[in-house]
Amino acid sequence: MPGAPPMLQIQNYINGEFVPPVAGRYLDNIDPALGQVYGQIPDSDATDIARAVEAAEAAFPAWRAMPAEKRGRLLVRVADLIERNLERLAQAESRDNGKPVTLARTVDIPRAASNFAFFGTGIGHFASESHFQEGVAVNYTVRHPLGVVGCISPWNLPLYLFTWKIAPALAAGNCVVAKPSEITPATAYLLGELCQEAGLPAGVLNIVHGTGPRAGQAIVEHPRIKAISFTGGTKTGEHIARTAGPMFKKLSLELGGKNPNLVFADCDLDAAVRTSVQSSFANQGQICLCGSRILIERPIYEQFKQAFLERVAGLTVGDPLAETTRQGALVSEAHLEKVQSYIALAQSEGGRLLAGGRRVQPEGRCAGGYFLEPTVFEGLAPDCRTNREEIFGPVVTLTPFDTEAEALQWANGTDYGLSATIWTRDLDRAHRVAHQVHAGVVWINTWLLRDLRTPFGGMKNSGVGREGGLEALRFFTEPQNICVKL
Ligand code: NDP
């Protein structure tokens, strides 16, 4: 097509070089805002993973022996390069994922840089314990890197979640074989370029592209990969645990969510409405932390609803590259269809559609893209499927409640336990409810505010283990206790 940009041809990054998949197979990469193929990515298999593991094993002795400060400086250099390439990465992320470029520019890419900077400097503060028994012995703990570890990440926050795993793994002295989602490979590919430029030694980080069942599964099954850090769906997590568990691999599983957003009558209504619109629809509702069940205390139900719907009506759906767009495309046609099936389910379960519900076909270049209106339902029972299953799209439900106990019962009434948000001015209630809600992350009067030092992860089917700060460095190391008799 005259004037069309060249197709993006992605390669694997193994042993410091960009290489084609051994079997020579490729998959199409689709721009979800156009609904068109715009590039190709390797359809890697177990042979490519085996090569990546060999490269990582060869690099490991020197990488683990490198003083932590020097390793950290290399990671900080990668952070600097991400910042210097912010616009290029944001454009690539937006095109690959369908998210508004403004979001990629202000959240995804800066946070990816922060991940490298945080763990690059954090490793210098990582200390281990010693236990002194008066007159008897001293025990001290050494934390060894594990060796070669696997990092597998999803498509919703591609570079942000990819680096969230890779940075602590590398900082702790491991070598990594990583696979981004096949649906959003572009920024992971560019990260390989930046690592090369930063002077990361060959083989320390290997990025292999391909599908979950083929390339991902080969990582999980590889006998010499010591640990798997996985973020993705609960079903996939279950499958990975079943494979890796009997191999005694260390596992960190960050899985799905169906997060409650509890709005009490004494809250700052304006702030609650404003932030709830964000927590419902940011990234088209495709953030594991989105609050898709909004529970509202009855006295302010109507007022909240009206203000919420007014703001939702102002969300511009359209071309992700336009500066004014607030809602981009969903990540794929299959995902759009899945979310649409949940809209049909909500209607069949008796939900009243208050806003949205339809596919959007913007005029111009994005006419074939996977756009959906932000969708709001009310009138659904708290225990219906729409209110229990993860939709992972721009669909939320509003439900009134009468008592704190009722709100808590409904908030806790799903198999998930990732995050919760509480809106109230009553400090006692805020803490009381926070302590009783089954969620690994609780926000009070805010949402998505992150401090990278805090433990991050889910309860119940939302995951096993915690990432973030020292938790991540502990996960990626093996403690060894050494006892010296006095
Ligand atoms: P998936 O579980 O489908 O995929 C996640 C990653 O696992 C992808 O890279 C995928 O590859 C890969 N994969 C799939 N099958 C296997 C397998 N058998 N072995 C190894 N790897 C495999 O999740 P999505 O990408 O659809 O992401 C959405 C999900 O992620 C939602 O449930 C969301 O809640 C969750 N999530 C959780 C977060 C958290 O922190 N708790 C944060 C963000 C998202 P490929 O895509 O190439 O097939």
Per residue in 367-408, pLDDT tens?
999 999 999 999 999 999 999 999 999 999 999 999 999 999
CATH code at position 346 = 3.40.309.10
Q: Is position 165 within any domain?
A: yes
Cα angle at 55 between 53 and 57, to 5 degrees?
65
Residue 178 has pLDDT above 70, yes or no: yes
Ligand 1 contacts CB of residue 240 (under 6 A): yes
What's the number of domains the chain is made of? 2
Instruction: Characterize 200-228 residue by residue with b for buried, 16 or more Cβ atoms within 10 angstroms of its Cβ, and e for exposed.
Output: bbbbbbbbbbbbbebbbbbbbbbeebbbb
Between β-strands 477-485 and 250-254, what pairing exists: parallel, antiparallel or unpaired?
unpaired
Q: Is position 1 within any domain?
A: no
Report CA(391)–ligand 1 centroid distance (Å): 14
242 and 288 both lie in a single domain: no
181 and 311 both lie in a single domain: no
CA distance 66 to 57: 15
212 and 351 both lie in a single domain: no
Mutate to test the pocket of ligand 1, among 10, 151, 222, 231 (most ligand atoms within 8 A of CB): 231
Report CA(320)–ligand 1 centroid distance (Å): 23
Ligand 1 contacts CB of residue 285 (under 6 A): no
Q: Is position 456 within any domain?
A: no
Q: Is position 3 within any domain?
A: no
- The alpha carbon of residue 320 and the mean position of all alpha carbons in its chain are separated, in whole angstroms, by 20
Three-state DSSP class for residue 294: strand
Q: Is position 2 within any domain?
A: no
Indicate which atom in ligand 1 lies nearest the CA of residue 462.
Answer: 41
204 and 264 both lie in a single domain: no
Give the pLDDT score at 3: 54
37 and 184 both lie in a single domain: yes
Q: Is position 282 within any domain?
A: yes
Residue 101 has pLDDT above 50, yes or no: yes
Report CA(10)–ligand 1 centroid distance (Å): 20
CA distance 257 to 67: 39
What is the span of the domain harbouring residue 200? 8-255+462-485
171 and 281 both lie in a single domain: no
Give the pLDDT score at 4: 59
466 and 445 both lie in a single domain: no
User: Would you state the structure tokens that stand for residue 266, as one six-digit string?
Assistant: 């004494």
Residue 270 burial (CB count, 10 A): 9
- Taking residues 43-60, what's their average pLDDT? 99
- Taking residues 192-214, what's their average pLDDT? 98
81 and 156 both lie in a single domain: yes
The model's pTM is 0.97
106 and 16 both lie in a single domain: yes
Q: Is position 316 within any domain?
A: yes
Q: How many Cα atoms occupy the beta-carbon half-sphere of 468 within 13 Å?
A: 15
What is the maximum alpha-carbon separation in the chain?
A: 82
Residue in this structure with the two tokens 């198999």, named with its chain if needed: 415
Report CA(27)–ligand 1 centroid distance (Å): 18
Mutate to test the pocket of ligand 1, among 151, 288, 466 (most ligand atoms within 8 A of CB): 288
pLDDT digits (tens, 9 = 90+) for 362-375: 999 999 999 999 99
pLDDT digits (tens, 9 = 90+) for 276-322: 999 999 999 999 999 999 999 999 999 999 999 999 999 999 999 99
285 and 189 both lie in a single domain: no
61 and 200 both lie in a single domain: yes
Q: Is position 17 within any domain?
A: yes
184 and 151 both lie in a single domain: yes
CATH code at position 162 = 3.40.605.10
